[in-house]
């Protein structure tokens, strides 16, 4: 259970496999291992898989409870530097997709390729307020609340309400890349979205990054990478894409 000091963080991460570095970037309510449990075995046979817990999430420790997707992208750049990794492949899911886009735009020399799953080109704020603590309590969503308490206890130090309010604020305002930032994404990119994903579409992302490859997973929603959904197909498609990048 390694920790790495990065800026003001004691950042928790797990590492599997050997080879070129592949940085997994998790979603808002998750943490590294949980978001990518279906990817670790297939990918660790070919890559050095790094699964960090973001600022404010999981077991990562910080004196401040404040965070947003842009801050996390800076953290991930510092994390790669701390491990002595010059360039890495990125695979980001949901919030991690936004983080990956920020990383590829702001630190292009650090990013060999970018894969996003469930990403978007602009914020989708409509459903976010449902996850405010007072609304979850009013709807008696006790299982979800308990999951958030346990999943992120070390990071939010028991202040799960602040964690949820910060998450909702990030959801409502990110991604917020400028046109110049979108244009700065020059690495090979693959954007994956489920056909019924309400959080974003391949089409909007392709408008921002015209050289990217896209794949709309038919019949799927926001989580095609998960166990019990379309994980095997998603893994095969990403590995094929990465093999093409590595072969260049």
Assess whether pLDDT exceeds 90 at residue 81: yes
Dihedral, CA atoms, 106, 57, 164, 26, nearest 10 degrees?
A: 60
Q: Is the N-terminal amide bond of 134 cis, ω within 30° of 0?
A: no
pLDDT, one tens digit per residue, over 197-217 is 999 999 999 999 999 999 999
Q: What are phi and psi of 234, to 5 degrees?
A: -65, -45
Range 117-127 burial, b when 16+ CB lie within 10 A, else e: bbbbbebeeee
Domain boundaries, the chain: 3-124+176-246
Mean of the pLDDT values across residues 97-105?
98
What homologous superfamily is domain 3-124+176-246 in, according to CATH?
Alpha/Beta hydrolase fold, catalytic domain (3.40.50.1820)
Measured CA distances, 113 to 21, 121, 142, 219, 244 (Å): 11, 18, 39, 27, 10
What pLDDT shows up at residue 153?
96
What pLDDT shows up at residue 67?
97
Q: What percentage of the chain reaches a pLDDT higher than 90?
A: 94
Q: What is the pTM of this model?
A: 0.97
What pLDDT shows up at residue 7?
85
What pLDDT shows up at residue 96?
98
Assess whether pLDDT exceeds 60 at residue 248: no
């Amino acid at each position: 259970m390694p920790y790495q000091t990065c800026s003001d963080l004691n950042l928790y991460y797990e590492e599997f496999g050997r080879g070129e570095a592949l940085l997994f970037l998790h979603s808002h309510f998750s943490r590294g291992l949980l978001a990518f449990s279906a990817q670790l075995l297939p990918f660790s046979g070919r890559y050095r898989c790094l699964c960090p817990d973001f600022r404010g999430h999981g077991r990562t420790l910080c004196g401040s409870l404040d965070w947003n997707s842009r801050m996390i992208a800076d953290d991930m750049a510092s994390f790669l530097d701390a491990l002595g990794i010059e360039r890495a492949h990125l695979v980001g899911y949901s919030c991690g997709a936004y983080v990956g886009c920020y990383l590829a735009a702001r630190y292009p020399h650090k990013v060999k390729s970018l894969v996003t799953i469930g990403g978007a080109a602009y914020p989708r704020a409509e459903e976010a307020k449902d996850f405010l603590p007072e609304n979850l309590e009013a709807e008696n969503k006790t299982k979800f609340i308990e999951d958030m308490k346990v999943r992120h206890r070390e990071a939010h130090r028991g202040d799960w309400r602040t964690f949820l309010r910060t998450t909702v604020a990030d959801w409502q305002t990110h991604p917020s890349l400028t046109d110049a930032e979108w244009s700065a994404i020059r690495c090979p990119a693959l954007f994956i979205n489920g056909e019924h994903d309400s959080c974003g579409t391949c089409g909007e992302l392709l408008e921002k990054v015209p050289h990217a490859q896209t794949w709309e997973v038919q019949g799927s929603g926001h989580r095609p990478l998960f166990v019990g959904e379309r994980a095997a197909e998603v893994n095969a498609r990403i590995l094929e894409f990465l093999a093409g990048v590595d072969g260049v």
